[in-house]
Amino acid sequence: MARTGDTKHHNRSNIRIYADMIALKRTTIANLLNLVALFAALKLSGAATNETVRLVSADLQQTSGPLNTMFKFCVGAGRANEGLRADWQRQLAYVHRECGFEYIRMHGLFCDDMGVYREDKQGNPEYNWQYIDELYDFLHRIGMKPFVELGFMPNALASGSKTIFWWKGNVTPPKDMKKWTDFIRVFVEHLKERYGDDEVRTWYFEVWNEPNLTDGFWAGTQQQYFDLYAATARAIKSVSPDYKVGGPATAGCGWVPEFIHFCDTNHAPVDFIATHTYGVESGFLDEHGDAGTVLSPNANSIFGEVNWIRQQISNSARPRLELHFTEWSASYTPADPFHDSYHSAAYILDKLKKCGSAAQSMSYWTFTDIFEESGPRWEAFHGGFGLLNYQDINKPAFYAYQFLNRLGPTELKNSDPSSWVCADKDGGVQALIWDFTNTHPGKKVHNQEFYRRDLPSQPKNKVTLNLSHLPAGSYFMETYKVGYRVNDAYATYRDLGAPAQLTKTQVAKIKSENSGAPVDVRTVTIGRDGKFEQQFDLRENDVVLIALKRQR
């Protein structure tokens, strides 16, 4: 039996042990909490490190060669007759000046609203080039060239009555192939006489548009299109063997191996492959402007198809053919708000950069919302294809091309995949940097719903731009930007209540708040070490152009 003193001592020992255990437990918990805090801090530190890890670095003594400007080789437009409008011509002159497009391609050159063909009572052909002359003279006057899409069929020459679009382009084969080829030959002879042989040698002649869409643009079979192509190509080459002709101008990159095989085995002239691609989940045509579309989640969309077609050409009997994507965009419908969204600028740059040198041109569809395949649109911002809306308001997509056009002619080596750094002959440097993040929620939500929302961009990272071997001296530095609520005309339009029709005051407000003016202008001095460093925040889908101009 324990004594009372021993019991008290034993109880004190137990209490002390228990207290020590509680203290140890508390210490352990505190240590665990400290570890959690440490891991959180490390995680945050890693995030902060990630914010600064993106480095865009270039050395003026390390060049990649001339900048590949396939992005501004050609741009699209709706139809030829729209090109006779004053507003269309005004917008094209502006876009040519600001974005540098060299060629323009459009549908409907031979539709009846261009007045090109009829027959007398005896069935003899009569030709008329006055409307085409007016259009092409304008292009020539502003320094552009036509990428001539040969179509659609004049009604008097058509074998049927099937048409497409509000303006009723006839999509049937010719009733008489001899009359068609004579028509083509006389047309090309007229171009040669009016614009000169040397000039027309620089043009491209593309036979038809998307003949693989037999419920849309072509009421014949694949073989009938191939026969039309061969006859047309030979008619063009009969005027000059140096004139460039190609096809099949298909939707969705279709028919390319079959087309090349046909041309090779039938000795049909071909100088280039033309085809089309759009960055949505499914479909190729929205004739009435009311389809629902979903931006593709495939990170390889657009440039994956470009590289695929280049590989098909390389594996063919004609491996050196030029490749021209004569239509491309995020979406094939003229009613997709992605076209108006700030997301479009970074999307365009992302796809073009990743195309590399696989294509000789990527013709953006289109430069303007003046586009009437489904008829005149009733809203100022309706998701139209254009870089500009009806009221000459620059969309974010416009700034992507304007910024590209401001790059110097020499590309500098740069390992960052989402940027270009270039130099000009006057010692200036331009760095075009962007983030493209596909924030679309997936197949259950159409673009037509998602991109009409207010979609604030989230912080992405910090970017450090490092340049070396700059000549010492003073430079003007201008920073331009497009992104969420920065040169984001659609956001301003939405703030106004998204009225279908805009007043003059509203147009002026949208233009003034989205003018493309630099967001920062300053003078910087480059020391003898020739180094320059600039750090800035980049949000999702931001695009930033930093231009250094040497002061003399």
Annotate 159-205 with DSSP letters as a single string.
Answer: SS--EETTTTEE-SPBS-HHHHHHHHHHHHHHHHHHH-HHHHTT-EE
Q: Are 543 and 432 in contact (CB under 8 A)?
A: yes
Edge-to-edge, what's the strand order for the sheet holding 532-539? 54-59, 459-468, 532-539
State the residue for tokens 């009569």.
126
**Element spanning 429, H or E:** strand 429-434
Name the amino acid, one letter, at 118. Answer: R
Q: Are 106 and 74 in contact (CB under 8 A)?
A: no
Catalytic: which of 210, 373, 478, 540?
A: 210
Active site residue 126: no
Active site residue 478: no
Q: Are 347 and 401 in contact (CB under 8 A)?
A: no
| Sequence ranges of the chain with CATH classification 3.20.20.80 | 69-406
Q: Are 38 and 288 in contact (CB under 8 A)?
A: no
Give the whole-angstrom CA distance, residue 271 versus residue 436: 35
CATH number of 50-65+413-550: 2.60.40.1500
Give the whole-angstrom CA distance, residue 213 versus residue 221: 10
Range 69-406: architecture per CATH: Alpha-Beta Barrel (3.20)
**Element spanning 273, H or E:** strand 272-278
Catalytic: which of 149, 327, 411, 540?
A: 327
Distant-in-sequence, close-in-space partners of 298: CB < 8 Å, separation ≥ 6: 304
Give the whole-angstrom CA distance, residue 372 versus residue 358: 32
Cis peptide before 250 (omega within 30 of 0): no
Alpha carbons within 13 angstroms on the beta-carbon side of residue 444 total 1
| Sequence ranges of the chain with CATH classification 2.60.40.1500 | 50-65+413-550
List the one residue out of 347, 220, 210 whose CA is nearest residue 287: 210
Question: Encoding tokens for residue 131?
Answer: 């409307």
pLDDT along the chain (552 residues), means of 10: 34 35 37 37 38 85 97 97 98 98 98 97 97 98 98 97 92 98 98 98 98 92 98 98 98 97 98 96 58 89 97 97 98 93 98 97 97 90 96 98 98 97 95 97 90 94 95 96 98 96 97 97 95 95 97 84
Q: Is 87 exposed, middle or buried (0-12, 13-18, 19+ CB in 10 A)?
A: middle
Distant-in-sequence, close-in-space partners of 288: CB < 8 Å, separation ≥ 6: 374
List the one residue out of 216, 198, 186 whose CA is nearest residue 107: 216
Three-state DSSP class for residue 214:
coil
Question: Encoding tokens for residue 326?
Answer: 């004569």
Strands 322-329 and 272-278, by their bridges, are parallel
Q: What backbone torsions phi and psi does residue 288 show, to the nearest 5 degrees?
A: -105, 5
Q: Are 60 and 411 in contact (CB under 8 A)?
A: no
Three-state DSSP class for residue 521:
strand
**pLDDT of the residue at 39:** 38
